[in-house]
Amino acid sequence: MTSISAKHGLLTEMGERLGVVLDNEFEALAKKNLPLLESLQSQKVELLSEIESSWQNSPIPDKGDSSFQYLKSLIERCREKHIRNDILLRKQIDE
């Protein structure tokens, strides 16, 4: 069985990759680069699926653990980036 710290490490690595994909998605949206955007969408969906699967199979974390707190803040930053990208996309659709 995988240790809690190993699971958190894996989730952290995937969360950081998701953050990079979301930043690249924002740039692709800003430049209206549809081929790149489609590729990034595929990467994003794959990462979200992997994160969900790993999270569901992860032991219950100690909410006071610093690695859990970092992971939680990382996921929150990804959520904020997703919202930012959604706002830009909606503005472009309304143009």
Burial class (CB in 10 A: 0-12, 13-18, 19+), 84: middle
Write down the residue that tokens 């143009």 correspond to: 95
The span from the CA of 78 to the CA of 65, in Å, is 20
pTM: 0.88
Which stretches of the chain score pLDDT less than 70?
Answer: 1-2, 60-61
What pLDDT is attached to residue 2? 52
- Please state, as a whole number, how many other Cβ atoms lie within 10 Å of the Cβ of residue 29: 21
Cα-Cα end-to-end distance for the chain: 52
